[in-house]
Amino acid sequence: MIRARGHRLVAVAVASALILAACGSDDDEPTGSDTTTADDGGSTNGDGTFAVDTADCPEDATEPIEGTIKIGTTLPLSGGAAAAAFAPVKDGLESYIDYANENELVPGYTLELTVEDDQYNPNLTTPAVEKLIDSTGVHLFSGMIGTPNNQAVRDLMNEECYPQLFANTGSPIWGDVENYPWTMGGLAPYNTETAIYVENIKQEFPDGATAAVFHVNSEFGDAYQEAFAELAPDADVEILDEQTIEAADSNPPTSQVNAIASEEPDIILAVPLGAQCPAFLSELANAKAANAGWEPRVYITSTCASTLLLTIAGAAADGIFTIVTGKDPMDPANETDPAVAEYRETMIDLGFDAGGDFATAGAGWTGGELIVEVLRLAAESEDGVTRASILNAARSLDYEFQLARPGVRFTLDGAEDAYGLESLQVVQYNADSGTYTDIGELVTSFEGQTKLP
């Protein structure tokens, strides 16, 4: 059973402040992803690799793991819009673990993945995680979906010293290595993404502009809204309206979009969730049709960037802007790309529907690829595979994943760089072709930033 948990009051107080704070910046630098020094979270070895502090950990955190490495995760498998949107993530993750076992990518070990359903409800995440620890005996967690869900178990993971790796969320709070060394994110930080949108806005609206924000009412949506509110004045952007939608709400956001349309802003930052992405775009198309001449520039979160979700929206998605880090497996232009072709063929060989959403499944595939690389590195380490060595390998990862765009790597450097994805490409969607067009060059200016969000 899980041992009694302590109360790290100072750490919790610091983390609580971080959760609510908008990201700051130096006078000459746009706000992006930031990290902190790890005074008590870990240290750097002589060879430059990270070493987590295990002094307060239970003994089993440093005990060798033999034979089978048990991986746990929680995903929304039921319970509404999130379940339907993220189901392919599970398929991609399971497929890569199967692929790794078939090809013995971690020599001497069998990987065992167990997925628990938390319905995207953070109140269900904790009992699901406790079940995975107590009943399944997992050694690490990877790819859990949702900011509030990961946050619900972050204290538990760090007090019990379980790696909580590659969370499927880009909240900037995952960069707090000092207080939460066992927890890290897997997506591009939302504040970095927002900062890149603001830089693009500066170029397109040099004389200033008006804006509105539509976002899901959760920590996920708040991260974008807070970052945008912090950065907007620097771009001479006036925010006229803010509208929200609940995470579990599957109804069209008609009233929210109509309220935004009544202000006729030049720009909309949209942060819906899952199936809410095409629903928002469809309502926006209706509002534009009812307001002749109003054509706002729309930036929509990268979590809506699946071309399948945008295809559902049809012409309503035409012209939206977002960011990507990987190659789109659904883009016909990538059919001959060796990495994309191999990914699709392997997924189909493993039982994935040839007509399925390879783009969203790619998030799970990449998450599996990252964790397998970490386990391979841990197995090669001096200590062999332990929970601590798994965490250390993850914090020192520098890896080009299969579907990465040219110039993109997943790179971590202990407390000096706690965010793996910081090179991002702005793209614009073409509804007729169902593909993206690159806008400018890959943005690399946020790599390795070291300030607190």
Alpha helices for 103-210 (secondary structure H): 122-131, 147-160, 190-204
What pLDDT is recorded for position 86? 81
At 183 the three-state DSSP class reads strand
CA distances from 279 to 41, 167, 222, 285 (A): 43, 26, 20, 10
Q: In sequence order, what DSSP letters do the residues of 33-95 get, joined into one string?
A: ------TTTEEE-TTS-EEE--TTS-GGGGSPP-SEEEEEEEE--SSSHHHHHHHHHHHHHHH
Is residue 107 within 8 A of residue 97, CB to CB? The reply is no
| Total-model pTM | 0.82
- Residues near 182 by Cβ (< 8 Å), separated by ≥ 6? 52, 157, 158, 161, 162, 163, 164, 391
Residue 435, CA atoms < 13 Å, CB-side half-sphere: 11
Helix (H, G, I), strand (E, B) or coil at 103: coil
Q: Residue 43 pairs with which residues in a beta bridge? A: 51
Q: CATH homologous superfamily for 31-188+353-422?
A: Response regulator (3.40.50.2300)
Torsion of CA 447, 158, 70, 51, to 10 degrees: 60
- The pLDDT value recorded for residue 44 is 60
In a 13 Å sphere around the CA of 175, the CA atoms on its Cβ side amount to 33
pLDDT at site 43: 66
Residue 84's pLDDT is 74
Phi/psi region, residue 134 (left: phi>0; alpha: psi -120 to 50; beta: rest), is alpha
- What is the predicted pLDDT for the residue at 303? 85
* Location of each CATH 3.40.50.2300 domain in the chain: 31-188+353-422, 191-324+427-438
Strand partners, 237: 209
DSSP symbols for 227-270:
HHHHHGGGGTEEEEEEEEE-TT--S--HHHHHHHHHH--SEEEE
Q: How many other C-beta atoms can be found within 10 angstroms of the C-beta atom of residue 63?
A: 12
Query: Residue 383 has which token pair?
Result: 């200590």
Compute the CA torsion angle 135, 127, 158, 362 (nearest 10 deg): 90
Q: Mind listing the pLDDT tens digit for each residue in 21-71?
A: 222 223 333 344 443 333 447 766 645 679 999 999 999 999 999 999 999
- The string of pLDDT tens digits covering residues 292-315 is 999 999 999 998 887 777 888 999
Counting as low any pLDDT under 50, the low residues of the chain are 1-40, 46, 451-453
191-324+427-438 — its CATH code? Answer: 3.40.50.2300
User: CA 177, 220, 298, 316 torsion: positive or negative?
Assistant: positive
- The residue type found at 169 is T
Distances in whole angstroms, Cα of residue 205 to Cα of each of 56, 235, 296, 390, 417: 52, 8, 12, 46, 32
